Amino acid sequence: PVFITPGDNDWLDCEPYIGAKQGWAHWKNTFGFFDSYWQPPKFKLVRQPNLLENVSFLYQRVLFVVVHLVSDYFDIESERKYRHTEQLKWTKQQIAINEGFFDSIVIIGHSPPSALNRDFFSAKESGISETVSELGIPVVYIHGSGHKFVEEEQFNKLDNFLRIQIPGRTSNPVKVTIKNSNMFLFDFRDGNTTTQC
């Protein structure tokens, strides 16, 4: 199956044109259950009940969590805080529910860390970095938005937290291979950029 996580260009940036609410309605109608165009996966797929665009699944001892993280000043602060609070709580629930069944975690979102999503990533304010620190297993956050490759080891000063920003837009799709559930290989299919973590 294919899962799509929303980005700011997909709906928030519609504000000056058709409005962000209309953009979000279009996104949900078009991509909200995009994975349903394929046969049901062989793994159990969990959707966040109040934010259906967020999905989680366990596959070959890797926990995948796809969350709706955007950083855009068109976003209404109260809605952004609600989303971040709810999906942070849900992400931690997925980690707790699946404890003992995974050796690494892949979190997929859209936005790079910024002041607008510090509440989600914080290590000091009960953010996901606090949980990552406690787990002590490899965790990678894969996102777009910056339009160039960035590899940040020791994300938020944690040895087990890696951040990868994929180039996006006109670049090839990135192929991510996970070996032994704790080695991440990123192939950008451009003949030049590969990285191993």
pLDDT tens for residues 158-175?
888 888 888 876 777 888
Tell me, what's the pLDDT at 174?
A: 80
Which 3 state secondary structure label does DSSP give 36?
helix
Q: Which of 20, 17, 135, 136 is nearest to 79 (CA)?
A: 20
Asked if 140 contacts 106 with a C-beta cutoff of 8 angstroms, the reply is yes
Tell me, what's the pLDDT at 94?
A: 97
| pLDDT tens sequence across 77-136 | 777 788 888 999 999 999 999 999 999 999 999 888 887 778 888 877 788 888 899 998
* pLDDT at 41 exceeding the cut of 70: yes
Tell me, what's the pLDDT at 44?
A: 92
The C-alpha atoms of residue 145 and residue 17 are separated, in whole angstroms, by 21
The C-alpha atoms of residue 188 and residue 150 are separated, in whole angstroms, by 12
* pLDDT at 190 exceeding the cut of 90: no
- Decide which of 189 and 194 is more confident: 189
Tell me, what's the pLDDT at 138?
A: 92
